[in-house]
Amino acid sequence: MAGDGSDQRALQYEQTLMYGRYTQELGVYAKEEAARLRESGQRRSVSDRSRTLDLLEYDKGRCAKCRICTVRCQKFLISRVGEDWIFLILLGLLMALVSWVVDFCIAICLQAQKWMYGGLDSNVFLQYLAWVTYPVVLITFSAGFTQILAPQAVGSGIPEMKTILRGVVLKEYLTFKTFVAKVIGLTCALGSGMPLGKEGPFVHIASLCAALLSKFMSLFGGIYENESRNIEMLAAACAVGVGCCFAAPIGGVLFSIEVTSTFFAVRNYWRGFFAATFSAFIFRVLAVWNKDEETITALFKTRFRLDFPFDLQELPAFAVIGIASGFGGALFVYLNRLIVQFIRKQKAINRFLMKKRLLYPALVTLLVSTLTFPPGFGQFMAGKLTQKESLVTLLDNRTWAKQGIAEEFDYIGHSQAWKHPQVNVFVTLVLFIVMKFWMSALATTIPVPCGAFMPVFVIGAAFGRLVGESMAAWFPDGIHTDGTIYPIVPGGYAVVGAAALSGAVTHTVSTAVIVFELTGQISHILPVMIAVILANAVAQSLQPSLYDSIIRIKKLPYLPELGWGHHEKYNIRVEDIMVRDVRYITLNCCYRDLHNVLLTGHLKTLALVESAESMILLGSIERAQLQSLLSQQLGRPRRLEYIRERAVAEKKRLSVVSNPCSEDGTHRTSQEVRFQISTEESTFSPARPVPQKPLKPALKRPSVVERPTEIPTSPHDNSGIALKNLFCASPDTEGLEDDGDVEDDMTIREIAEWEEMQLDEQVNFNNCKIDPAPFQLVERTSLHKTHTIFSLLGLDHAYVTSIGRLIGVVSLKELRKAIEGSVTVKGVKVRPPLASFRDSGTSSSENEATELHKLWDRHKSMSLPREHTPSESDEKSQ
């Protein structure tokens, strides 16, 4: 909604003339427009033709005709089906290849570890060394590689994608470097056999692919520059990421929607489906071509009986799995966050770990792999199985603990790992669940590209299996009473548990669909749905989702969801939460006002009102625009012009003036001192830059504070340009003043006087970009509606007006605070599970209010507020 204000004003007269054109001759206009479009189309086809001719010239060999044919085909496809299809097909193909190659490499890595471990069976110590060293090396390499190449690649990527899809520009998150770091880092991390997942990173990788592909295809022209289209494509890419990771197109689309969007445009639906299906298809076809499979089937195919999948009386057991998974999921999120915060808080540990940056990953890996060492403790928790193998065995449709029946279950293949000569299979399962639980929570805090979905999925499956085996032991002949015996299928319970726990951790319902697609069976749909919904209900009332938790830890800009059944939200109105002390500038203000406003406020944009009396809102101006206005007014070129004019005036008077007292040397010093003077006179101290920090791209970089704050250059983020840069003569400004015929002969005092004079001039907004229609709310708008509008339109702030008069402003911060009182200004307050049942949400509002109070006091005292203290920036998070 941004438009060039002055241009529009200039166009006004022309538009009045063109009045008739739009109302009475719309038809003519439409025709003209169509003709224009046709013409441009023809022009394009002409250029296409010339391109084919070029090709002929260039390549007179056999394949020239073939090429022309291809080009024609491409042209036809583009004109008929649009360029989106081609883009989506390419994206799907690319991601399927990436997914397959990554899987292939991971499989090789894991095989190598097994081979090493197996080959050294003569000596347990050597075995242990091999077992432990291998993952430590891989993880350390992964962490180091990622750290060096692109620290943005660390972690899951879903939280960042959620933020990006909300409209926030996270720099460096969608670059080629990040892509390489993420793919290689992920392969190494997963190849180590640690309990890490592939899903989250794949969402990020797919988005990277989409962004790079967009950039690549924009070389050929077309629509690839359009920003809103790119956002749509990113949403589709997220679906592709999940889809090609699990060969689950439907679940992928749904999961990506649930995880990344607040509002979803149904018109983008087909994009996700199309790309994800194509990707999943290619992914599975590659497996067939590689002779891994005979035909395309599910990734973790199950073979439960179809005629009687479960009895109605088993439903309570499924519900129990759901509820327990809900608590478990909340605990997992809590545990994960606790670990991050513990490491961050312990200054001593922190400092040590930060110095030796790769020590933490190595230590964690050492701990985890020591505990899973098969001849050691690993024998009690099926430690020698890889994640994939564990899942396959857990989803097995045979019962492991069939008591009372003579035939001993023959643990064939990998299932042997679950059977220990001395220990019951139940103990093995319990140990597996408990150990894997904290291991996964710990492992996902390692700064390598990794997700948490798959580990949680496996733990859930194990938990389900445990319940299933217990049920099977309890009812050896099944529950069904009439006639036929239908024994209980513990594998079905494993499916339910996997869906429920992963659903609870991610706060999604679509894990149910993913489970069906992964197993290739939908017979357990009702138990799965019931368990997933119950798990979600419990988990959502206790903790944020894992991704939201990470968003908070990383302090990404976000808007919390309105919770389930908190109906007071409907009664809170904008007037209750808005900030009434709006920073504004008037249409006829002078540069001094501008200066003052810029120094006191901290919002990205400032309201432009007609006058302080009428307060009629005319638009909003970006901070950077005002800063450049001010710098233009006070800049050197203008001053030189002033000097020139003065000189001309002097010459006219023909009076003799004394020689300029300042030479080149003094000139330079005057330039350096000038700034201080001007600020001393205006009683501010703008030597410190405005604290609008760019979104930290390197959350895991510990030394981010020691280095000077980077000045972002993207148009979206340039509000952080420090005042200092603008006031001091920067190299850019220096470059502009090439008309060096006038010498800067002003004294410091003169400059100060001149600046004072300049500051009293009225601002000329002509060359200033004004957003003429910032979003407006009314005092009576409910919080619920405000939330909807903010998340729908991805707003950062909205003005509250009353019949055109500006009366307040609501920004994301106020909204966030109004929705959840629990998050303080400084970082995340870790809330233990069940906390929401204890406090009623008001206990922490005091804390936050004093925080706000302080902030306002700081504003009042005209010092520049710094929202984040340096000690917080060296955060290390998942």
- Report if residue 778 touches a second copy, rule: CB under 8 A: yes
Side chain identity at 726, as an amino acid letter?
A: L
- Report if residue 83 touches a second copy, rule: CB under 8 A: yes
Please tell me what DSSP assigns to residue 865. Answer: P
Query: Quick one: which of 17, 148, 219, 266 contacts a second copy (CB under 8 A)?
Result: 266
Query: Quick one: which of 202, 281, 400, 437 contacts a second copy (CB under 8 A)?
Result: 281
Which region, judged by CB under 8 A, interacts with a second copy, from 2-10, 100-108, 151-159, 654-662?
2-10
- Report if residue 840 touches a second copy, rule: CB under 8 A: yes
Q: Is 622 helix (H, G, I), strand (E, B) or coil?
A: strand
Residue numbers 843-862 binding a second copy by CB under 8 A: 845-846, 848-850, 852-853, 856
Nearer to a second copy, 293 or 743 (CB): 293
Write down the least CB distance from residue 29 to a second copy, Å.
Answer: 7
Q: Sketch the per residue contact string, 173 through 212, with a second copy: x for CB under 8 A, - otherwise.
A: ----------------------------------------
Which strands sit side by side in the sheet containing 584-586, from one edge to the other?
584-586, 605-609, 617-622, 770-771
Which region, judged by CB under 8 A, interacts with a second copy, from 234-242, 284-292, 401-409, 418-426?
284-292
Nearer to a second copy, 512 or 556 (CB): 512
**355, two tokens:** 């110095």
> In whole angstroms, what is the distance from residue 151 CA to residue 143 CA?
9
Write down the least CB distance from residue 316 to a second copy, Å.
Answer: 13
**164, two tokens:** 């990006």
Residue numbers 612-631 binding a second copy by CB under 8 A: 616-619
Nearer to a second copy, 122 or 295 (CB): 295
Q: Sketch the per residue contact string, 407 through 436, with a second copy: x for CB under 8 A, - otherwise.
A: ------------------------------
Nearer to a second copy, 180 or 479 (CB): 479
Residue 172 contacts residue 149 (beta carbons within 8 Å): no
Nearer to a second copy, 141 or 224 (CB): 224
Residue by residue, DSSP assigns 19-59 as: HHHHHT-HHHHHHHHHHHHHHHHHHHHHHHHHHHHHHHHH-
Nearer to a second copy, 804 or 870 (CB): 804
Residue numbers 688-717 binding a second copy by CB under 8 A: none
Nearer to a second copy, 143 or 254 (CB): 254
- Report if residue 150 touches a second copy, rule: CB under 8 A: no
Nearer to a second copy, 194 or 275 (CB): 275
Give the other-Cβ count within 10 Å of 596's Cβ.
Answer: 17
Nearer to a second copy, 403 or 840 (CB): 840
Residue numbers 207-226 binding a second copy by CB under 8 A: 222-223, 226
Which strands sit side by side in the sheet containing 797-802, from one edge to the other?
776-777, 797-802, 805-811
> In whole angstroms, what is the distance from residue 591 CA to residue 309 CA?
76
The gap from C-alpha 451 to its chain's centroid, in whole angstroms, comes to: 14
Q: Which of 399, 458, 454, 453 is nearest to 426 (CA)?
A: 399
> In whole angstroms, what is the distance from residue 340 CA to residue 387 CA?
24
Residue numbers 458-487 binding a second copy by CB under 8 A: 480
Side chain identity at 553, as an amino acid letter?
A: I
Query: Quick one: which of 389, 610, 737, 796 contacts a second copy (CB under 8 A)?
Result: 610
Side chain identity at 755, as an amino acid letter?
A: E
Query: Quick one: which of 113, 163, 277, 428 contacts a second copy (CB under 8 A)?
Result: 277
Write down the least CB distance from residue 392 to a second copy, Å.
Answer: 16
Residue numbers 796-825 binding a second copy by CB under 8 A: 801-804, 807, 821
Nearer to a second copy, 319 or 381 (CB): 319
Residue numbers 303-332 binding a second copy by CB under 8 A: 303, 306-312
Residue numbers 714-753 binding a second copy by CB under 8 A: none
Residue numbers 575-604 binding a second copy by CB under 8 A: 575-576, 578-581
> In whole angstroms, what is the distance from residue 154 CA to residue 445 CA?
10
The gap from C-alpha 515 to its chain's centroid, in whole angstroms, comes to: 25
Nearer to a second copy, 43 or 566 (CB): 566
Residue numbers 503-562 binding a second copy by CB under 8 A: 509, 512-513, 516-517, 520-523, 525-526, 529-530, 533, 536-537, 541, 561-562
809 bridge partner residues: 579, 799
617 bridge partner residues: 609
> In whole angstroms, what is the distance from residue 489 CA to residue 496 CA?
11
Give the other-Cβ count within 10 Å of 345's Cβ.
Answer: 10
Q: Taking every pair of C-alpha atoms in the chain, what is the biggest distance, in angstroms?
A: 122
- Report if residue 228 touches a second copy, rule: CB under 8 A: yes
Residue numbers 25-54 binding a second copy by CB under 8 A: 25-31, 33-34, 37-38
Write down the least CB distance from residue 207 to a second copy, Å.
Answer: 18
Side chain identity at 229, as an amino acid letter?
A: R
Write down the least CB distance from residue 784 to a second copy, Å.
Answer: 6
Nearer to a second copy, 450 or 608 (CB): 608
# chain residues binding a second copy, by CB under 8 A:
143
> In whole angstroms, what is the distance from residue 390 CA to residue 416 CA?
11
Write down the least CB distance from residue 801 to a second copy, Å.
Answer: 5
Nearest-5° Cα angle at 550, 345 to 442? 65
Burial per residue of 798-819, b for 16 or more beta-carbon CB atoms within 10 angstroms, e otherwise: bbbbeeeebbbbbbbbbbbbbb
Which region, judged by CB under 8 A, interacts with a second copy, from 6-14, 94-102, 120-128, 643-651?
6-14
- Report if residue 867 touches a second copy, rule: CB under 8 A: no
In 63-198, where does DSSP find H-type helix?
63-119, 124-149, 158-165, 176-191
- Report if residue 641 touches a second copy, rule: CB under 8 A: no
Residues 6+ apart with CB under 8 A from 347: none
Side chain identity at 30, as an amino acid letter?
A: A
Report CA-CA distances (Å) from 375 to 314, 384, 419: 37, 9, 14
Query: Quick one: which of 82, 221, 715, 832 contacts a second copy (CB under 8 A)?
Result: 82
Residue numbers 235-254 binding a second copy by CB under 8 A: 249-250, 254
Where are the strands (E) in 772-848, listed by range?
A: 776-777, 797-802, 805-811
Nearer to a second copy, 4 or 796 (CB): 4
- Report if residue 93 touches a second copy, rule: CB under 8 A: no
Write down the least CB distance from residue 258 to a second copy, Å.
Answer: 6
Query: Quick one: which of 404, 421, 565, 665 contacts a second copy (CB under 8 A)?
Result: 565
Nearer to a second copy, 301 or 668 (CB): 301
Instruction: Please identify which residue in the block is written with the tokens 């919080």.
Output: 783
> In whole angstroms, what is the distance from residue 479 CA to residue 392 CA?
26
Residues 6+ apart with CB under 8 A from 73: none
Residue by residue, DSSP assigns 233-246 as: HHHHHHHHHHHHHH
Write down the least CB distance from residue 77 to a second copy, Å.
Answer: 10
Residue 495 contacts residue 395 (beta carbons within 8 Å): yes
Residue 30, Cβ density class (10 Å: 0-12 exposed, 13-18 middle, ≥19 buried): exposed
Write down the least CB distance from residue 263 to a second copy, Å.
Answer: 5
Nearer to a second copy, 105 or 217 (CB): 217
- Report if residue 781 touches a second copy, rule: CB under 8 A: yes
> In whole angstroms, what is the distance from residue 150 CA to residue 130 CA?
30
Nearer to a second copy, 251 or 383 (CB): 251
Element (H, E) at 618: strand 617-622
Nearer to a second copy, 474 or 856 (CB): 856
